[in-house]
Homo-oligomer: A and B are copies of this chain.
Amino acid sequence: MAFSPPDFSDPRFSRSPDAKFLPAPADGVLPEGFFSTTNLPTYVRVKGAWRMPREPRMDASLVLAPDGEVWVREMRRVRKGELVAVGFAEDGSEGIFVHGDAFLGDAHEGEFKFMTSEVSREKPIDYAQMARLLVEERARGGYPIWVLGPALVHSRARADMTWFIANGFAGAVLAGNAVGVHDIEASIFATTLGMTSDGAATSGGHGLHMRAINQVRAAGSIENAVAQGIIKDGIMHACVVHHVPYVLCGSIRDDGPLPGVFTEMAEAQDAMRVHAKKATMAILIATALHAIATGNMLPAFVADADGTIRELPTICVDSSEFVVSKLKDRGTHQAFGVVTNAQDFMHILRLYVERELDARGGARK
């Protein structure tokens, strides 16, 4: 990459003072306010001349040698009394200039920073804010859509999802056949794909999802299966009982499918879009396929009744940074990524929503 050195005849530089140096108070200890280096080309003004320190690296200090040379040196290697540059400004105004523009694109705003990645498991998750959003959405009659992948059911976050549906936090639930199948298997047999809630594979378990599907097909519909007491609890049960609309979309990996699953993809997309159009918030959990499908048909903004326009809160939860990045790479740039496990996300989010409701002094509805 080409590099244009700074023009030190420019007034902003010619007016700069010399850099200030203070003695290190002890071996391996720097003076308060020391300048902390970056890995970028850096220039230090010493006796009116701008010079590049030797042996550049980040996270180190600038030490002035008796001969006027400036050295980049690790804290632990600085000896008591050595002269160490102080200052925070990197724009030359205190005699030190970090030439960031040349090396850092617009994405970094020309400043050296840590932790600038958009999606990372190392980023704190602000559950309180998400809980506030959800509670406000319910209060104002918003339409949050929940888009769910099968891991949510395998990991036994069913109970928490059911709670959100039962308590009015879901405008609609969008998922695939598998979510319905696992949820119903869990209701009938207490397993998902034959796995118990302890995570153990069971003998003969490989057929249980087929038996669950068959019972619902025999009943004719999920609604009938709920009415007949075949499905007694869980996500699908809650949708039926609480009249929350759901869309189950088919895919080529489906068994069955369950009655009511949209197996024609244009119809499935149209059915999803009915809800995408109304959405005022979107929570996408543990599914690349459905998250990207929803993102494709979701505006990045909400136009409120009074004509104002704001970003559509879009939360994407996955165990891997990749799924969130992929969603953003497909244009859903407004997505906020939460890198965690579906079970844990649901559990904590519910907890915070309950706290938020309590804080609002209220009946939980």
In the complex the two chains form, what is the Cα distance from A344 to B127 in whole Å? Answer: 10
CB distance from A282 to the nearest CB of B (A): 12
Q: Interface digits, A111-151 against B, CB 8 Å rule (1 contact, 0 not)?
A: 11111111111111110000000000000000000000011
User: Known contacts being A114-B195, A256-B76, A269-B252, is A30 close to B293, with CB within 8 Å?
Assistant: no
> Contact size class for A?
35 or more
B151 touches A121 (CB 8 A): yes
Contacts of A112 in B (CB 8 A): 206, 331, 333
A231 is an interface residue with CB less than 8 A from chain B: no
Q: Can you name the residue of chain B whose Cβ is closest to the Cβ of A4? A: B309
Contacts of A264 in B (CB 8 A): 263-265
In the complex the two chains form, what is the Cα distance from A126 to B199 in whole Å? Answer: 9
In the complex the two chains form, what is the Cα distance from A290 to B234 in whole Å? Answer: 28
Contacts of A125 in B (CB 8 A): 155, 341, 343-344
Contacts of A308 in B (CB 8 A): 3
A224 is an interface residue with CB less than 8 A from chain B: no
Contacts of A292 in B (CB 8 A): 253
A241 is an interface residue with CB less than 8 A from chain B: no
Contacts of A25 in B (CB 8 A): 218
A332 is an interface residue with CB less than 8 A from chain B: yes
Contacts of A293 in B (CB 8 A): 251-253
Contacts of A69 in B (CB 8 A): none
Contacts of A40 in B (CB 8 A): 299-301
Q: Interface digits, A315-336 against B, CB 8 Å rule (1 contact, 0 not)?
A: 0000111100110111111100
Interface class of chain A by DSSP:
loop
Contacts of A272 in B (CB 8 A): 252
Contacts of A276 in B (CB 8 A): 57
A296 is an interface residue with CB less than 8 A from chain B: yes
A49 is an interface residue with CB less than 8 A from chain B: no
Contacts of A277 in B (CB 8 A): 55
Q: Interface digits, A165-209 against B, CB 8 Å rule (1 contact, 0 not)?
A: 000000000000000000000000000111101110111111101
Contacts of A52 in B (CB 8 A): 303
In the complex the two chains form, what is the Cα distance from A154 to B40 in whole Å? Answer: 25
B257 touches A154 (CB 8 A): no
A56 touches B124 (CB 8 A): no
In the complex the two chains form, what is the Cα distance from A267 to B151 in whole Å? Answer: 27
Contacts of A93 in B (CB 8 A): none
B257 touches A115 (CB 8 A): no
Write 12 A-B pairs (CB below 8 A) sorted by A numbering. A5-B309, A29-B218, A38-B300, A59-B206, A74-B269, A114-B194, A114-B206, A121-B155, A122-B326, A193-B329, A252-B265, A340-B341
